[in-house]
Amino acid sequence: MRYTGRISSILIVMVIQTSYVIYYFHRDGFVDIVGWLAYPVLLLISYWTGFQYDKANYFSERDPLTNLFNRRFMIRRFNKYIKIADSKKKKLFVLLIDCNGFKQINDEYGHAAGDQVLVKIGKVLNRKRRNVFGSARWGGDEFIVLGFCDDAEELMCIQLKFKRELNGIRVTEGGSSIAVSIGSALQDGTFGETNIHELLQLADASMYREKRGF
């Protein structure tokens, strides 16, 4: 969670209250006790107000179940990520991840069990990784990962690593492991010629080719 709201509200209150103190000091030659006691009270109020803003901003970018970023956030950040990858002389990649047989998990063990699977997937995808910008719940049991790499060979290694980690997740009620299908797409050309929807279409086609073999 960022501190933008808290820092901004505290600074605004400090400037206003300090201006008030300076004004009355120059006018009267002193500042009464109320002027000084107002500082801690106003700081507490401004911190709480800023915290509410930061919390609202945080949850506007997150999926409430998995704590991953949401679709809106990733679309908004895409151009920034692709510029960062370009500055590193790397290519941006997209992984599209789908949990195989997720409907069957819900039908057999209940939606609470399905939600637990999604939460566990979220924990795996939320781990900090050197070459990953961020992960998001794209919708239902689909997730995306945006990151950077050198070439298709490195992307394949990244994809296989994610698959090993995710396929180790177990359904709490049944004890069986889940299986995922992962499609991938790699930036081709300069960042100005790439958009997230093109990469997602390629990743989606790649994922369904793998899913047909599941």
Tell me the pLDDT tens digit for each residue of 102-128. Answer: 999 998 888 899 999 999 999 999 999
- What integer pLDDT is reported at residue 193 of this predicted model? 53
Tell me which residue has tokens 């915290």. Answer: 51
Q: Which residues of 9-34 are buried (b: 16+ CB within 10 A; e: fewer)?
A: bbeebeeebeeebeeeeeeeeeeeee
Q: Largest alpha-carbon pair distance within the chain?
A: 83
Q: Residue 67 region, left (φ>0) first, then alpha (ψ -120 to 50), else beta?
A: left
> Residue 197 — very low, low, confident or very high, per pLDDT cuts 50/70/90?
confident
In the chain, the N- to C-terminal Cα span, in Å, equals 38
> Is the Cα dihedral 166, 172, 174, 175 positive or negative?
positive
Instruction: Report residue 33 as tokens.
Output: 């006790």
Whole-angstrom CA distances from 82 to 49, 78, 101, 156 are 34, 6, 33, 19
Count how many residues are written for the chain.
Answer: 214
**Contact residues for 134 (Cβ-Cβ < 8 A; gap 6+):** 69, 74, 77, 81, 145, 146
Q: What is the pTM of this model?
A: 0.79
What does the pLDDT look like over 67-93, one tens digit per residue? Answer: 999 999 999 999 899 899 999 999 999
| pLDDT per position as a tens digit, 4-57 | 889 999 999 899 989 988 988 888 888 888 888 888 999 999 999 999 988 888
Annotation says 150 is catalytic: no
Higher-scoring residue by pLDDT: 164, 173: 164
Amino acid 63: pLDDT: 92
Residue 38 CB partners (closer than 8 Å, separation 6+)? 17
Phi-psi region of 110 (alpha: psi -120 to 50; beta: other; left: phi over 0): left
Q: What average pLDDT does the segment 142-163 reach? A: 95
Residue-wise pLDDT for 180-195, tens only, equals: 999 999 987 654 457 8
For residue 214, pLDDT beyond 60:
no
When the pLDDT of each residue in the chain is averaged and rounded to a whole number, the result is: 89
Confidence at residue 57, expressed as pLDDT on a 0 to 100 scale: 80
pLDDT confidence of residue 122: 95
Out of 141, 150, 151, 188, the active site residue is 141
